[in-house]
Amino acid sequence: MKLAYWMYAGPAHIGTLRIASSFNNVHAIMHAPLGDDYFVMKSMLERDREFAPVTASVVDRHVLARGSQEKVINNITRKDQEEQPDLVILTPTCTSSILQEDLKNFVDRASFDSLADIILADVNHYRVNELQASDKTLLQIVAFYLDKAHQLNQLSMVKTQKPSVNIIGCVSLGFHNQHDLLELKRLFDDLNIDINLIIPDGISVHELKNIPQAWFNLVPYREVGGLTANYLNQKFDIPFIDIIPIGVLQLSRFIKAIQEVLINSGYSVDYSSYIDQQTKFVSQSAWFSRSIDCQNLTGKKAIVFGDSTHASAITKILSAEMSIRVVWSGTYCINDAEWFKQEVQDYCDQVVISDDHTHIADLIAETDPNAIFGTQMERHIGKRLNIPCGVISSPVHIQNFPLSYRPFIGYEGTNQIADLIYNSFTLGMEDHLLEVFGGHDTIKSTSSTLSSTSNMKWCNEALEELTKIPGFVRNKVKKNTEKFAYDNNLKQITLEIMYSAKEANQA
């Protein structure tokens, strides 16, 4: 047993559900007790207009006693008729996995009566987390449909005429994924490369048989898609690029890698003038590094924490592009620790691998950096310690699903990141100066007008109640109550009078 207050990565089935809900017309059926279908937050966080394609086959007391029997199968066939999905993914949860029911058998039996394909998500809840599970599930689905196409002799192995790419690993509830995807489309359009498939975001499983037509694969994020790209490399000899296209320097590496892949395939291109052009004129980030604003950031202390993709990319930007000192950089993706160390060890003083947020909080307090770049958790730690924080990675809140265009990837992404970094630091500076010079001059004047000059007496009980009212409405409540008491010729304010005043004010 482990005492835990908070976790960076969710349970495995969330990963499976994120993959399922990314595809078009794929339905997930969770074998889970009531309340485990909390994936509904998808419709909240992403403000989705569609119902999340997730149903629970509820595990209740009866299931414990007699087993699921026909229940799971009935739920699958029912969903098959109601929604006519292309694929149903039976998703075990931590509860169902210890029941040791033969879910594979249910899948086989349900297949007879369903038009949809049915697979059982192959993830162990006690060994993998959300991110690993999504990586595995994506591979499972891709491999399933490529095998199927192979058996039906439907695999189209002929490469597209023009260079083309599969983008693998854009999934629902990903950090700024939708914006990143747009930016990638723009980038490939500029490079005159067609996008063959975006996997899995919004595609139908029937399109997966066209995967081998692409010249190469791109895995923009470290967490999801790596397994699939490796599999495609081994099975179909499709090369892949897994350089994360975040930050000016990384972007150049990334585009050069594409160039190399294309040249190796016998297609001669030279992107160097494009890189030059974009770096100088589209991205403001390179100029920003030269500007006097950025000079002021030289040697400022920062710490970075997040998933391996974003934490590594931001660490490199801070250190190599903005001459900020990254005291330590860390990730909660413990399974990917080796890769992460390799990536960032030259860009920071120390590498931290941990998924314990209290440990991270202690480290931040100890380091006392000028700014933090982390997840929502680090933002809250920063609030407590009065250190500004820019959010650069999941786990996130609804405010990290912005309506406006906010990519992290690509040249526009470099602008967004530069703003994020610069704003975090200046805010910190401003705060500091305010403290040195005695704060905003408005503070004093507002508080003096707020202090009531009335001579109304408050009994202790009522006064105590008053202090419990949230600060931002307390004065209003106080004023209204006193006015009520004054109007009714009352000398002392008791609890009863407070409540009566509330009712009177509503009238």
Q: What whole-number distance in Å separates Cα of residue 210 and Cα of residue 238?
A: 13
Distances in whole angstroms, Cα of residue 230 to Cα of each of 63, 89, 217, 330 = 40, 23, 10, 26
CB of 32 to other proteins, least distance (A): 8
CB of 59 to other proteins, least distance (A): 7
CB 32 within 8 A of CB 56: yes
Report CA dihedral (406, 411, 416, 418) to the nearest 10 degrees: 170
Of 7, 14, 10, 173, the closest CA to residue 91 belongs to 14
List residues binding other proteins (CB under 8 A).
Answer: 1-7, 10-11, 13-14, 32-38, 40-41, 43-44, 47-52, 55-56, 58-61, 64, 75, 82, 93-95, 98-99, 125-127, 129, 377, 380, 397, 465, 468, 495-496, 499, 502-503, 506-507
Of 124, 154, 120, the closest CA to residue 30 belongs to 120
The residue behind tokens 């196409």 is: 149
CB of 86 to other proteins, least distance (A): 19
DSSP 144-182: HHHHHHHHTT----PPPSS-EEEEEEE-TT-TTHHHHHH
> Which of residues 233 and 354 has its CB atom nearest to other proteins in the complex?
354
> Which of residues 82 and 122 has its CB atom nearest to other proteins in the complex?
82
> Which of residues 99 and 334 has its CB atom nearest to other proteins in the complex?
99
CB 412 within 8 A of CB 183: yes
CB of 507 to other proteins, least distance (A): 4
> Which of residues 55 and 370 has its CB atom nearest to other proteins in the complex?
55
> Which of residues 435 and 464 has its CB atom nearest to other proteins in the complex?
464
CB of 376 to other proteins, least distance (A): 8
Contacts of 417 (CB under 8 A, 6+ apart): 246, 247, 285, 314, 317, 408
Q: What whole-number distance in Å separates Cα of residue 165 and Cα of residue 441?
A: 57
Q: Which residues are catalytic?
A: 293
